[in-house]
Amino acid sequence: MNTQIKTAVLTGANSGIGLALTHKLLAEGYRVIGTSRSGQMADFSHPNLSVISLDVTDDASIAQAVAQIGQLAPSIDLLVNNAGVGSDLGTITPERSALRDTFATNVDGTILFTEPMLPLVRDGGQIIFLSSKMGLVSHAAADSPAYRISKAAINMYAAILAERVAERGISVTPMHPGWVQTRMGGDSAPFTTEQSAEGLFRGIQARPESGKFWNVEVDSLLA
């Protein structure tokens, strides 16, 4: 393996923002290990892309994926936790099924995948979370309670993790990717997935102060 090539692991690489960021990272010369629940990428292959199966709500799937990633690349430069669901977007009252479904992926799944990945992230590497400004207390609104709370939880996890990995020089950044035209974001969103991926990559390159929230819409930190 060429040690000059940076390696990224990206969850949910098969659609939406994850797919566009996969294209962007490959175009920037990264080797990408992308995950999808099926273990396939629809209609896309690249010599520097490996695709593995991962369902972050399934402990056995997480263990298998982490083992596979360790075999493919024992030293990861960039981990992008992109996989997420928006089960109650637009609804008002917290429903049991939406809370459980949303937290299982966006919170428990994201954290339980990130933890065993930590030894694989190289010292000085980067960890990104696809968060949302909907999860900031300063942007609170009545709609989408499970989704908002799940992203708030990830913002807190990112801040905690930043402290834990600081001595290894790893930076941790929750990012708002803009409102983006995807299965989740819908057709009337202002950002294309390509624009969002460009913005996310600018944020990765900017390497913001670890633990702080980065907003792609304005290319800066957001309190």
Residue 216: CB minimum distance to ligand NDP, A: 9
Residues of the shown chain interacting with ligand NDP in the complex, contacts defined by CB under 6 A: 11-12, 14-18, 36-37, 54-57, 82-86, 105, 109, 130, 132, 176-177, 179-180, 182-185, 189
Closest residue by Cα to residue 12 from 66, 59, 81, 61: 81
Tokens linked to 12: 């949910």
Residue 184: CB minimum distance to ligand NDP, A: 4
> Which helix (H) or strand (E) is 117 found in, with range?
helix 110-117
Q: Cβ closer to ligand NDP: 86 or 203?
A: 86
Residue 199: CB minimum distance to ligand NDP, A: 11
Q: Cβ closer to ligand NDP: 122 or 144?
A: 144
Q: Cβ closer to ligand NDP: 24 or 176?
A: 176
Residue 119: CB minimum distance to ligand NDP, A: 21
Angle at 111 between CA 128 and CA 171, to 5 degrees: 30
Q: Cβ closer to ligand NDP: 123 or 219?
A: 219
How does DSSP assign 148-204, residue by residue?
Answer: HHHHHHHHHHHHHHHHHHGGGT-EEEEEE--SBSSTTT-TT-SB-HHHHHHHHHHHH
> Which helix (H) or strand (E) is 23 found in, with range?
helix 16-27
